[in-house]
Structure 1
Amino acid sequence: MTDTQLPTLDGAEFAAADQVFGERLETAQRYVEHLATTGIERGLIGPREVPRLWTRHVLNCAVVEEFISEGASVVDVGSGAGLPGLCLAIARPDLSLTLVEPLERRVIWLNEVIEDLGLENVTVLRARAEQVVGEVEADYVTARAVSALVGLLDITMPILRGTGELLALKGRSAAEEITKARKKLNKYGAREVDILTAGADLLEEPTTVVQVKL
Structure 2
Amino acid sequence: MTDAAAELPPAPDVAREVFGELFPEAVRYGELLADAGVRRGLIGPREVPRLWERHLLNCAVLSEVVPEGVTVCDVGSGAGLPGIPLALVRPDLKITLLEPLLRRTNFLLEVVELLGLDHVTVVRGRAEEVMGKLPQVHVVTARAVAPLDRLAGWGVPLLRPYGEMLALKGDTAEEELKGARAALSKLGVVETSVVQVGEGVVDPLSTVVRVEVGESPGGVRFAAKRAKAARPSRAQRGRRR
Letter in 1 for 2:112: I
CA RMSD of aligned residues (A): 1.5
1:150 CA drift (Å) = 1.0
In the alignment, which residue of structure 2 is the partner of 1:54? 52
1:45–1:18 distance in 2 versus 1, CA, 3 Å: same
Aligned structure 1 segments of 4 or more residues deviating by more than 6 angstroms: none
Task: Name the SS for the 2:9 alignment partner.
Answer: coil
1:3 CA drift (Å) = 11
Q: Give, in whole Å, the separation in 1 of the partners of 2:207 and 2:118.
A: 28
Q: Give, in whole Å, the separation in 1 of the partners of 2:79 and 2:98.
A: 11
In the alignment, which residue of structure 1 is the partner of 2:175? 176
Task: Name the SS for the 2:145 alignment partner.
Answer: coil
Q: Give, in whole Å, the separation in 1 of the partners of 2:106 and 2:141.
A: 21
1:203 CA drift (Å) = 1.2
1:206 CA drift (Å) = 1.0
1:161 CA drift (Å) = 4.2
Equivalenced residue count is: 211
1:5 CA drift (Å) = 4.1
Over the matched positions of the two proteins, sequence identity in percent amounts to 51
Q: Give, in whole Å, the separation in 2 of the partners of 1:58 and 1:6.
A: 15
Task: Name the SS for the 1:119 alignment partner.
Answer: coil
Q: Give, in whole Å, the separation in 2 of the partners of 1:2 and 1:204.
A: 32
In the alignment, which residue of structure 2 is the partner of 1:103? 101
In the alignment, which residue of structure 2 is the partner of 1:207? 206
Aligned counterparts, 1:118-133, within 5 A: 118-133=116-131
In the alignment, which residue of structure 1 is the partner of 2:165? 166
Q: Deviations over 1:5-46 (max 9, x none)?
A: 422234xx222x122211111110000000000111111011
Q: Give, in whole Å, the separation in 1 of the partners of 2:18 and 2:59.
A: 11
In the alignment, which residue of structure 2 is the partner of 1:44? 42
Q: Give, in whole Å, the separation in 1 of the partners of 2:136 and 2:10.
A: 36
In structure 2, stretches of 5+ residues that fail to align are 214-241
1:4 CA drift (Å) = 9.5
In the alignment, which residue of structure 1 is the partner of 2:144? 145
1:95–1:210 distance in 2 versus 1, CA, 3 Å: same
Greater helix share, 1 or 2? 1
1:154 CA drift (Å) = 0.5
TM-score with structure 2 length normalisation?
0.84
Aligned counterparts, 1:71-110, within 5 A: 71-110=69-108
In structure 1, stretches of 5+ residues that fail to align are none
1:132–1:18 distance in 2 versus 1, CA, 3 Å: same
1:41–1:5 distance in 2 versus 1, CA, 3 Å: closer
Question: Which fold has the larger relative contact order, with Cα–Cα distance below 8 Å and residues 6 or more apart in sequence?
Answer: 2
1:122–1:200 distance in 2 versus 1, CA, 3 Å: same
